[in-house]
Amino acid sequence: MMVKIELPIQDTIINTFNVYGSISSIISNNKKCFPWFYNNFIQIRYVYDWDTFFFDNHHLLLDNCPWLNHHIVPRFVIESKWDSIVDFIVDSIKLGHYVYLYVDRYFISASKAYLKWSHVHEIFIYGFNSESKRFLIADNLSDGKYVQTECTFEEIAQGHNAIEVSNHFFLNIHLLSKKEEEEYTLNLPQIILSIENYLNSVITLDVSFKEKTLFGQNAILFSVDKMIKDENKLLDKRAFHLFLEHKKLMLSRINYLIHVNELKYEHVSESYKDILRRFEIIKNLSLRYNITKDRDVLFRIRDQILDGLYEEKLILDEMIKLISK
């Protein structure tokens, strides 16, 4: 008997990385979740070993989203009870669980790495069709853009089974399901502290994270130094997409504070729109640089970032003063 199940997904709020897109595509239709997004996703961190920029506490999001149940199933448990990873995923989806796991994109036909190079990465599965033997998946597959598409059962099986690493982190399967949280409110002290930490590049104390890390505006400024130092390399599009998402979410946060908490500082919102426009220009310039390798474009990006961060600090400092009154 043919079985077809598609668990509901929504438009993403942020999606630079799969974990952001997957979480927000599950919960973003619930208006109660917006205070959680606005309380968080303020601080930025750069991890040297990974050469990547993230929102703070990136590695804790699945466990700390109030509207998600998160269960980790080790591969050895699956192998002891199911004939294949495909059977386990199908059974999980039948029970209403979204599936989040690592695969080697070499085996995923929707990926640019398909049959070209090995690239272990997360993938999000939200449905299946037993007749066509295809999964509904989402990932940053379209030149870094988070998209929904399909792949075969066999692609997922090959992609996951190809991972042979000593770090079991990449072998675990994550099951996600919706959870109702009745009370979750905007936390103004947390927002103020997080913005101050972002502006002043204050380190986040985190007992579970040992890698050398930069925080806040200093992390974004470091991207300028990296551009000049690594001028022969392509710019990391994810970094500039993350910076832009940071500004979009900050503007949305400001407007939420204005309308929901009746805070009277519409001029701050109008001023911050200029920051958003500047970082839209920066992202577009980064894409242009990767095509042209024109050093003039590189220096324009640097100037835009320096000016943008200076102006942003003035605006957000003023907003903190207004909130704190």
Q: What is the pLDDT of residues 84-118, one digit of tens each?
A: 999 999 999 999 999 999 999 999 999 999 999 99
Q: Could you give the C-alpha distances from 211 to 9, 51, 283, in angstroms and in order?
A: 33, 11, 27
Q: Which two tokens stand for residue 138?
A: 């989402």
Closest CA to 187 of 23, 63, 36: 36
**323: burial class by Cβ within 10 Å (0-12, 13-18, 19+)?**
middle
**For residue 287, how many C-alpha atoms fall within 13 Å in the half-sphere facing its CB?**
9
The dihedral through the CA atoms of 67, 97, 153, 82 has a sign that is positive
Compute how many other C-beta atoms are within 10 angstroms of the C-beta atom of residue 273.
14
Residue 71 is predicted with a pLDDT of: 96
CA distance 272 to 287: 23
- Residue 73's φ and ψ, nearest 5 degrees, are -115, 115
Q: What is the dihedral of CA 300, 197, 40, 38, to 10 degrees?
A: -70
Q: What is the pLDDT of residue 73?
A: 95
The pLDDT score that the predictor gives to residue 9 is: 96
C-alpha–C-alpha distance, residues 137 and 125, integer Å: 4
Q: Which pLDDT score is estimated for 207? A: 63
Q: What is the pLDDT of residues 185-217, one digit of tens each?
A: 899 999 999 999 999 999 888 767 788 899 999
pLDDT at 102: 96
pLDDT by 10s per residue, the chain, length 325: 778 999 999 999 999 999 999 999 999 988 889 999 999 999 999 999 999 999 998 888 999 999 999 999 998 999 999 999 999 999 999 999 999 999 999 999 999 999 999 999 999 999 999 999 999 999 999 888 899 999 999 999 999 999 987 767 899 999 999 998 777 889 999 999 999 999 999 988 876 778 889 999 999 999 888 888 877 788 899 999 999 999 999 999 999 988 877 767 888 999 999 999 999 999 999 999 999 989 899 999 999 999 999 999 999 999 998 887 7
